[in-house]
Amino acid sequence: MSRDEENNYRYFDAHSILQLVDITFFRNLEIPITDLILHLNGDLDQRNQILNNTLVTVDNWIKQLNAVSKVLNTRIREIAHINDCLDGKKNLNLRFPFSKFEPLDLYKKEHVSSLLNNPTNFLLLFTGDHFDTITEEIGIIDIPDNTIPKDHIEESRELYFGGVLTVDRYDYNENNLNKLLKSIQDSANYSSVIAQYIIGGLENNRPIDYYFFWLM
């Protein structure tokens, strides 16, 4: 289209519009300006190379988005499990997701990386006569079958899913574990409890964390 140049309107022809569409399309794909110049002015081989490079970038984006989608679906499913447990459904029987666990050491790069990649790798281990000895653990998946640490093997032939545990975010001793154990048949036969962090929340305006827990 054409407008009066005296009124300081720009002049566009069809080619200018096509070029603008090209620029907009490839800038939306975050092609660097240097590549964009080659794409708009280079030969076919150069353009083909840029398109192939961009395809690799887009494929990586798709992988990242799929990973994010998987995490979101998992978290949504976990919250649904929490609500089911809080509503009194007893037939969930969730499987303990780790092959083993060990004391958390924030000086170990692999432990920190594990927490950053997935906070649900964080565990609390409750031991002692009243389950009042609490240690921070990190869950590890590196063995096909569902095993537990050697020092627990003799005393723990199986893991029994207990439900959802609520723990004060700043004081692990403020929890409802013993109250929950009273409602679990044969809980006295178990010597320890392992709890997996799921998500944080509020209870009566108090910051708490929700855990799935298993008796061992």
pLDDT tens digits for range 75-104: 899 899 888 888 877 667 788 989 889 999
Q: What percentage of the chain exceeds 90 in pLDDT?
A: 33
pLDDT at 159: 86
How large is the average pLDDT for residues 156-172?
85
Tell me what pLDDT residue 20 has: 80
Helix (H), strand (E), coil (C) string for 31-79: CCHHHHHHHHHCCHHHHHHHHHHHHHHHHHHHHHHHHHHHHHHHHHHHH
Is it the case that residue 150 has pLDDT exceeding 50?
Answer: no
| Domain boundaries of the chain, sorted by first residue | 95-215
User: What is the tens place of the pLDDT at every residue in 18-56?
Assistant: 778 777 877 777 777 777 777 777 788 887 887 888 888
Mean pLDDT on 101-129: 92
Q: Which pLDDT score, from 0 to 100, does residue 90 have?
A: 63
Sheet (strand 100-103) strand order: 100-103, 133-140, 122-127, 193-203, 206-215, 160-168, 171-175
Q: What is the pLDDT of residue 1?
A: 45
Strand-pair partners of 196: 123, 212
- And the tokens for 117? 């990649």
Contacts 24+ apart (CB under 8 A), 148-152: 148/100, 148/101, 148/216, 149/100, 149/101, 149/102, 152/192, 152/216
Q: What is the pLDDT of residue 152?
A: 47
Please tell me the predicted confidence (pLDDT) of residue 133: 94
Average pLDDT over residues 171-185: 90
Average pLDDT of span 103-132: 92
* 9 pLDDT higher than 80: no
3-state secondary structure of 193: strand
42 vs 3, residue with greater confidence? 42
Rounded to two decimals, the pTM is: 0.70
The proportion of the chain whose per-residue pLDDT surpasses 70, expressed as a percent, equals 85
Residue 170 has pLDDT above 70, yes or no: yes
Longest dimension (CA), the chain: 93
